[in-house]
């Protein structure tokens, strides 16, 4: 069975996992700023192909140095969603990948929310087209901002909560 390395390079972290058929293996997480070809080659045996979504163009050559040619996610690919957006090349590869995953697994219309360095909200129309969205500061940015801009809110370290409801 074909082994596909899936790589998501975001501003803070790079996530990567091997997919075989419909199964995705363990997700490895690396600091994007310190990602190297050596680390990738040490972590993964050479896959049959690499699919890459990156919002950090300077890091694309790192993945190429590790594994050769890659398939870059972008509006030029048939991702199973249409694009009804004024400038398709301005849509982040991460946002297109999220839209494609949502359409494939849950259908449309839909709103996809991704909590990362930024929080993104992306809209899929009833026709299955990516029509745009919103980018907002991520949780880390907001906690730092609220601490520095308010008198009483402490600086907190983000961690997995025991409960969704804060107390």
SS3 96: helix
Q: What φ, ψ does residue 106 adopt, rounded to 5°?
A: -125, -15
By DSSP bridging, strand 110-115 and strand 118-124 are: antiparallel
Which residues belong to the active site?
94
* H runs (alpha helix) in 16-92: 37-43, 60-67
Q: Are 75 and 54 in contact (CB under 8 A)?
A: no
Q: Which helix (H) or strand (E) holds 140?
A: helix 139-149
């Amino acid at each position: 069975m074909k082994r596909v390395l899936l790589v998501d390079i975001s501003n803070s972290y790079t996530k990567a996992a091997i997919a075989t058929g419909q199964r995705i293996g363990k997700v490895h997480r690396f600091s994007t700023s310190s990602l190297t070809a050596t680390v990738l080659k040490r972590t993964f045996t050479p896959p049959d192909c690499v699919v890459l979504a990156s919002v950090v163009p300077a890091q694309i050559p790192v993945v190429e140095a590790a594994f050769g040619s890659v398939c870059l996610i972008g509006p030029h690919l048939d991702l199973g969603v249409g694009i009804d957006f004024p400038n398709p090349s301005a849509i982040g590869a991460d946002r297109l990948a999220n839209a494609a995953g949502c359409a494939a697994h849950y259908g449309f219309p839909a709103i996809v929310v991704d909590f990362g360095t930024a929080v993104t909200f992306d809209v899929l129309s009833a026709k299955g087209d990516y029509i745009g969205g919103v980018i907002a500061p991520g949780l880390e940015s907001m906690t730092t901002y609220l601490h520095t801009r308010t008198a009483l809110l402490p600086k907190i370290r983000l961690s997995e909560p025991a409960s969704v409801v804060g107390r």
